Structure 1
Amino acid sequence: MTNDNYGLFVGLVTLDLIYLAETAPKNNQKIVAVDYTVAAGGPATNAAVTFSHLGNQATVLGVVGSHPMTQLIRQDLANCRVAIADLDPNHTAAPSVSSIIVAQATGERAVVSMNAVKTQAPSASIPLDSLQNIDIVLIDGHQIAVGHAIAQLAKAKNIPIAIDGGSWKPGFEKILPFVDYAICSANFHPPNCHTTTEVFAYLRSLNIPHIAITHGEQPIQYFSAGNSGIIDVPQIQAIDTLGAGDIFHGAFCNYILQGNFTDALTKAANVAANACRFFGTRRWMDFHC
């Protein structure tokens, strides 16, 4: 299926080393993995892969660089038909690497990552044609200066903007006033916000028209066009929850271009739940059409 929509996904690009083990290791314990996989990762990157898989054209705007390890990232994204707009092609340091252990019994994961702390790019590094023919923008908050500039440019062009609010990142307050769709996790806590009610109030005060907060396997809470409610998510036996939120965001970007907010949330939840039935962030795609 091809939708011929173009999405720009702004933020983190990592190399993910993912291990499936019976349990996470204890102090000074060595364990043997049951399975492993290597893939490009990061919220914006996994969302772009999902958006592409659902029949669209996706570009990741982030720092990749020229270190030999980046060939693994480039090859994986090429396999997934995701283009790369590199904010710092001459960056010679190793890319951000995430090491992830997924517990076989529960599907829960432990992650160690550098994120984009050492690879922040200035807004001047944005390619001039970044928003050409773009139908939707997703910003994950890992490249604040770039995300802020892209949000301003997209708003001026009436391109809808979504954020992946996995967690609060300093500088998000600059981006949020431009956002159309704030899709956040229960771990998203703006300053002085400690409850879901306070988070909704904060985001609504910025005149964001469509807001959703996900709670894992629990129902999604939403506010849209003056209405609030909840959306149930599929109940499944999770094998691996790694990247489920990223996949949700990529699927949301696909479905919001086809329908309304609540329908997009419902369909995105179905895709993310299905992905949790498989190990890693790619294998679910072999069983989804």
Structure 2
Amino acid sequence: MTSTLPLVVACGLVTLDVLQDVDHVPAPDEKLVATRLDVTFGGPAANAAATAVALGVPARLVTALGSGPVAALVRAGLDEAGVEVVDLLDGVPASPAVSTVLVTRGTGERAVVSVNASASGDLAPAARSRAAAVLEGADVLLLDGHHLGAALVLAEAARARGVPVVLDGGSWKPRTDELLGYVDHAVLSADFRLPEGLRGAAQALTAGAPDDHDLAAVALLGPAFVARSAGPGPVRFRRRVTGAPDAEVGAVEPSTVPAVDVVDTLGAGDVLHGAFAEQLARGVDPVTALAAATRVASRSVQARGARGWVAGPAAGRR
């Protein structure tokens, strides 16, 4: 029997995260004793895929794991989270990146030290040979901008199949402009910084806040829907409306979380993107999807890590 469940396909980075709780971020030459240690998988695409699964939509993660003890540990975590893995380094001795995360008790702020996905090499040939199988049954393709060669291959293939493409815009990377040409929905982080030339070109189109210039600049590169998170603040968006002379500009207000209830902000952006993709896969319009996703992200900061909220009584609910 053919499944009627929607499917999110995510392509990007997976890491091994080492999380330690501290009273404060150490100063130079200072040694601290952590009050808690957790080791789990992380990475924007991986956390987003796990979020979709937690919300009831199956997810397939296309990434680079390879073979080795660290890869085996990460794979076991993804299996436990219910995420299907397509490893573009299948059988190749390799190790995912390791991220060290210091979470400050009392504020939930985090400091992260990691490496990116550059050591994996060009994964475009592997992605090209598997694109049809990877996108089989997909309702949404989510990209985090890592493993760029594979991302471009899958984005082009998704566009040809009519599968909506979502970009988790954590930061501007080389060839991001090229990738945006295939993107339908871009959700940017508060830290996303456009090259000045692109930002300046959009200023004539917008008379609003500086953030609106960024949204317009990204929209000029392709996406019909662009949004930008701002921590606990409003998530502004710009949407191109068919037949309308001007874009719709607005904001979604996230749920208010008292500072005393913030446990950990790690992965909140990844949760936002995963929940947004999950809603799109169900056929929800992007503004409604964004509003629902902000509510899930607000819940996530009240628990430890990117998936601590999943074990709580509110998991799977908005």
Task: Please report the TM-score for the alignment, with normalisation by the length of structure 2.
Answer: 0.87
Bigger helix fraction: 2
CA distance in 1, matches of 2:177, 2:91: 30
* Cα distance in structure 2, aligned partners of 1:47 and 1:154: 18
Q: Any idea what the Cα deviations from partners look like across 1:138-184, whole Å, max 9, x if unmatched?
A: 00001111111111000000000000001111111111011110100
Change (3 A) 1:3 1:102: farther
1:147 & 1:13 partners in 2: Cα distance? 14
Contact 1:134 1:159 (C-alpha < 8 Å) held by counterparts = yes
Structure 1 equivalent of residue 269 of structure 2: 245
Structure 1 unaligned runs (5+)? none
The CA distance in 1 between the partners of 2:216 and 2:265, in whole Å, is 29
Aligned length: 288
Q: CA deviation at 1:277?
A: 0.3
Q: What amino acid does structure 1 have at the position aligned with 2:159?
A: K
User: C-alpha separation between the residues in 2 aligned to 1:8 and 1:204?
Assistant: 23
Paired AA for residue 249 in structure 1: H
Other-structure match for 1:84: 85
- The CA distance in 1 between the partners of 2:289 and 2:4, in whole Å, is 15
How far is 1:31 from its partner?
1.3
Query: Alpha carbon RMSD of aligned pairs, Å?
Result: 1.5
Which amino acid counterpart does residue 274 of structure 1 have in structure 2? R
- Name which of structure 1's ranges 240-249 and 255-264 shifts more when overlaid on structure 2: 255-264
| Structure 2 gap ranges (5+) | 201-209, 242-246
Superposed counterparts of 1:198-217, under 5 Å: 198-217=213-232
Q: CA deviation at 1:252?
A: 0.4
Partner of residue 15, structure 2:
14
Please say if residues 37 and 280 of structure 1, whose CA atoms lie closer than 8 Å, have aligned partners that are also in contact. no
The aligned residue for residue 72 of structure 1 is: 73
Fraction of identical pairs, as percent? 33
Give, in angstroms, the shift of residue 120 of structure 1: 3.2
Residue aligning to 1:223? 238
- Residue pairs, 1:1-289, within 5 angstroms: 4-126=5-127, 127-128=130-131, 129-192=133-196, 193=199, 195-224=210-239, 225=241, 226-236=247-257, 237-256=261-280, 257-287=282-312, 288-289=315-316
Deviates more, 1:99-108 or 1:86-95: 86-95
Q: Using the alignment, how far apart are the partners of 1:204 and 1:272 within structure 2?
A: 24
Contact 2:180–2:222 (Cα < 8 Å) also in 1: no
Contact 2:71 2:94 in 1 (8 A): no
Give the strand-richer structure, 1 or 2: 1
Structure 1 residue 281: Cα displacement: 1.9
Alpha-carbon shift at residue 259 of structure 1 (Å): 1.7
Q: Is the 8 A contact 1:186 1:196 kept in 2?
A: no
Q: How many angstroms apart in 2 are the aligned matches of 1:209 and 1:180?
A: 6
